[in-house]
Amino acid sequence: MEINQRPYHLVVFGASGFTGQFVAEEVAREQVASGQSSSLPWAVAGRSREKLQRVLERAALKLGRPTLSSKVGIIICDVTNPASLDEMAKQAAIVLNCVGPYRFYGEPVVKACVENGTSCIDICGEPQFLELMYWKYHEKAAEKGAYIIGSSGFDSIPADLGVIYTKNKMNGTLTAVESFLTIHSGPEGLCIHDGTWKSAVYGFGDQSNLKKLRNEANLKPVPIIGPKLKRRWPLSYCRELSSYSVPFLGADVSVVRRTQRYLHENLEQSPVQYAAYINMGGITSVIKLMFAGLFFLFFVRFGIGRQLLIKFPWLFSFGYFSKQGPTQKQMDGSSFTLRFFGQGYSQGFGPEKGKPNTRICTQVKGPEPGYVATPIAMVQAAMTLLNDASDLPSMGGVFTPGAAFFRTKLIDRLNQRGMEFSVISSSEV
């Protein structure tokens, strides 16, 4: 990457959007935390100078840095104007793309970055976009030396690096992992901005195209080591966590499987099977979710239904999604725990000797997922790209976080910023 030949190391594109403002604030915080105030030139980018200026002023006030806004560049560009995206890409070593839904607005940014040899990180949780970008741009990005790394927010750094962490901590061969996500809320409850809701609506409404994309890819199956990981029922009880759970429908499974394929095909590592679930708590929460889920799955099938879902997110999500997003108190009171239950074989044992004989439990804990943990993950991914260049894949390309960062110090960086990876238990059966 041509870091020293560009005016800015980082450019936050879409900094005046709901999530983008928190990412910009996190970059400013990182400058202070890492002592790089003068050696980390960065800029914000978007359509409105006034809105970008207000974002910087709010960050300056919140962080107690009155001169911040005068030290950060402002780039005016629009996702519908390719020339302006080229101009932005030429000025940046890394673009942090916060403009979604990515299925509508993501590709022009990837294209501009690849053509200009600029690396790009996004926080996309949309498997169709992520997988399509790989097929369309991986080879060109490799030629240009650009690293295009998707899903580098809460979707899906905790899951993807959590599986790698679990694998590294196991004394033997990890063959399968189930993860269980628990979202904790404070007295003010939970709320998510409707940008995430829109991405989900469009994604579920377009499942057929994702299947078509995967069929056309015609990939060779990754080998299964040990017993095949059985899928749980759509509603199941997790004894270890004393909670009902349902399958997690975000990008985590897609991303982890792509990482495991990369590690197997490029580094001959033993692949890990993976399934992801989200804990719903007690039976009252389960009933509420079932009603919301049935409404969602019915309406998302029709054009007019999708319009209603997008127009009234608060109503159809039982208050979990809103156009205003969470309040500061809601964010302060929220956190997440992602628990991994892995199984495999101890050293000297293997599938030929019978059932897995080793189990391990690890976890990733962190602050509010959407607007605190996501900016931390995205910014630390960017700092890893800047500082751990020798540990990245030798050529550029389109990567998952796990494929790009498995050799780097990203997990250490996240630990230092409040996303804690730890081993809960490990034992031979």
Q: Does pLDDT of 105 surpass 90?
A: yes
Together in a domain, 219 and 231: yes
Q: Specify the pLDDT at position 106.
A: 97
Average pLDDT on 353-366 reads 93
Span 118-173, pLDDT tens digits: 999 999 999 999 999 999 999 999 999 999 999 999 999 999 999 999 999 999 99
Q: Specify the pLDDT at position 41.
A: 94
Q: Specify the pLDDT at position 196.
A: 79
Together in a domain, 213 and 144: no
Is residue 162 within 8 A of residue 338, CB to CB? The reply is: yes
Together in a domain, 381 and 309: no
Average pLDDT on 412-419 reads 97
Quote the pTM value: 0.93
Average pLDDT on 384-390 reads 95
Residue 116 CB partners (closer than 8 Å, separation 6+)? 86, 89, 90, 144, 146
Together in a domain, 300 and 421: yes
Counting residues of the chain whose pLDDT is more than 90, the rounded percentage is 71
Together in a domain, 179 and 239: yes
Q: Does pLDDT of 215 surpass 80?
A: yes
Together in a domain, 246 and 326: yes
Together in a domain, 199 and 138: no
Higher-confidence residue: 77 or 3?
77
Q: How confident is the model at residue 310 (pLDDT cuts 50, 70, 90)?
A: confident
Q: Specify the pLDDT at position 36.
A: 63
Q: Does pLDDT of 284 surpass 60?
A: yes
Together in a domain, 236 and 282: yes
Together in a domain, 331 and 401: no
Average pLDDT on 168-196 reads 90
Q: Does pLDDT of 191 surpass 90?
A: no
Q: Measure the CA angle with vertex 250, ends 356 and 199; round to 5°.
A: 170
Q: Specify the pLDDT at position 210.
A: 84
Q: Specify the pLDDT at position 11.
A: 98
Range of the domain at 131: 3-153+374-405
**With helix as H, strand as E and coil as C, how does 272-321 read?**
CEEEEEEEEECHHHHHHHHHHHHHHHHHCCCHHHHHHHHHCHHHHCCCCE
Q: Specify the pLDDT at position 1.
A: 56
Average pLDDT on 214-219 reads 88
Q: What's the total number of domains in the chain?
A: 2
| Residue 20 main-chain phi, psi, to 5 deg | -60, -35
Together in a domain, 179 and 309: yes
Q: Specify the pLDDT at position 382.
A: 98
Together in a domain, 73 and 161: no
CATH of the domain at 119: 3.40.50.720
Together in a domain, 378 and 393: yes
